[in-house]
Amino acid sequence: MSLITLDELAATDGAILGIDPGTKTFGLAVSDVTRLIASPIETIKRKKFTPDAARIFEVYDDRQCTAIVIGLPMNMDGSDGPRVQSVKDFAINLTGMRDVPVLFWDERLSTAAVTRNMIEADRSRAKRAEAVDKLAAAYILQGVLDRLRN
């Protein structure tokens, strides 16, 4: 796996694909090429690994991405959460299909923050469910982009 650090990511150029891996879906977001803004783009309902990975790489190529940021579900105390190993296994399998640079990013509270914002914006439960994963991916990716600028 091509696991990279934040400093190594900073030394590269181009758009970044953000992934919020859930148990039932993947939220996808992409940065602009200047790496200022993360935009939510799609939610993929998980099926089987191969078609899911194919869709992820299709988006990666269409958006001319140069790296992937994957949200890592850590516990509140910073220890590995129960799903950390499955997310790492997913990343290993993904990079086994194609060697792309991957950065893991702590995703603690990303879904909660996005959900709270949607509730404050008075979005219905159905609209929140439809958008939460891709918005969480954008939230995770924006955290990386903000850190890269500072």
Q: What are phi and psi of 65, to 5 degrees?
A: -75, 155
Domain of residue 130, residue span: 2-149
Residue 7 has pLDDT above 90, yes or no: yes
| Range 25-48 average pLDDT | 96
Largest interatomic CA distance in the chain: 42
Which distant-in-sequence residues (6+ apart) come within 8 Å of 67 by Cβ? 4, 9, 12, 14, 16, 17, 100, 101, 102, 103
52-93 pLDDT, tens digit per residue, is 999 999 999 999 999 999 999 877 787 887 789 999 999 999
Beta bridge partners of 30: 17, 39
Q: How many domains does the chain have?
A: 1
At residue 10, the pLDDT reads 96
Residue with tokens 């439809």: 130
Residue 128 has pLDDT above 50, yes or no: no
Task: Name the most confidently modeled range: 71-80, 101-110, 141-150.
Answer: 141-150
Q: What are phi and psi of 61, to 5 degrees?
A: -70, -45
At residue 130, the pLDDT reads 56
Q: Quickly list DSSP for 89-118.
A: HHHHHHHHHS--EEEEEE-TTHHHHHHHHH
pTM for this one? 0.87
Q: CATH number for the domain including 100? A: 3.30.420.140
